[in-house]
Amino acid sequence: MMRRSPVKPGTALMKRTAFARGERTEAREVTKTITKAARENKHKCAVRTCRAEFVRPQPFVTWCSPECGTVLALAKLDKQREAKAKSQRAADRRQKEEGMAPKKRLSLVQDLANKYAVLRDHLDGCISCDKGPPWTGGAWHGSHFKSVGSNSALRFNLLNIHKACNECNWHKSGNIINYEPRLKIKIGADRVEWLRNQPRSRDFSTEYLIRLAAVLRKKIKRLERRIAADVGI
């Protein structure tokens, strides 16, 4: 008669424990999968004043209720109308500029270039005197190092235009005696020498001026937004 080997104590218990552990692990994985699926199916309403969680009935639905859907639809219509109006204003402005007299067009683009230079230098004082940025005794101008009369080729060159007070720009013809050494510190002596050696005159085509006006308007808008953000407006 064969004798059975004695079962070591705890062997059966270990097998049952391992099996139970496996069941628990599997149950946890299933729970995670279900939870993850539920989380992925829940989305926040696209309406900023709502942001309620909901389950999308269709992939394209971003609103939690008909009321929120109406809010989004009206907002979309407003954006479309605004974009259309903006495009129309740009077209009207371009058409108006195309019919401008040459002198008026030159003056318009010059005003834009001067405005950009003043905004660019909003943290600086006058290029020709000691008036600092807080000065409020008059207007800030875009002052030319090489004047438009002496060098029309540089009239729109932004290296040639810098922020100055109206006293220096108007009453002292730019106050060039002080303008030049300060300009050398600001942009470098090599660039000042480059400005000195540029051709004295240039003809600007209508197409060039229209494109330049559009570029300057974009630059001005970007600067205005940046300055407003810096001061917390």
Residue spans per domain, the chain: 29-93, 100-231
142: β partners: 163
pLDDT attached to residue 70: 92
Distance from C-alpha of 56 to C-alpha of 177, rounded to nearest angstrom: 71
Give the pLDDT of residue 165.
97
Residue 140 in tokens = 């800030």
pLDDT of residue 202: 92
Number of Cβ within a 10 Å radius of residue 118: 21
Distance, first Cα to last Cα, the chain: 99
CB atoms within 10 A of CB 158: 14
Tokens, residue 96: 């108006």
The amino acid at residue 33 is T
Q: Which residues of the chain have pLDDT under 70?
A: 1-41, 95, 97, 232-233
Q: Measured between alpha carbons, how far is 160 from 154 in angstroms, rounded to an integer?
A: 7
What was the pLDDT predicted at 32? 57
Are 142 and 117 contacting, i.e. CB atoms less than 8 angstroms apart? yes
pTM above 0.85, yes or no: no
- Rounded to a whole number of angstroms, the CA Rg of the chain reads 35
Q: Output the pLDDT for position 109.
A: 96
Q: In 219-229, which positions are buried (b, 16+ CB within 10 angstroms) versus exposed (e)?
A: bbeebeeeeee
Could you tell me which of 122, 155, 113, 160 has the C-alpha nearest to residue 140?
122
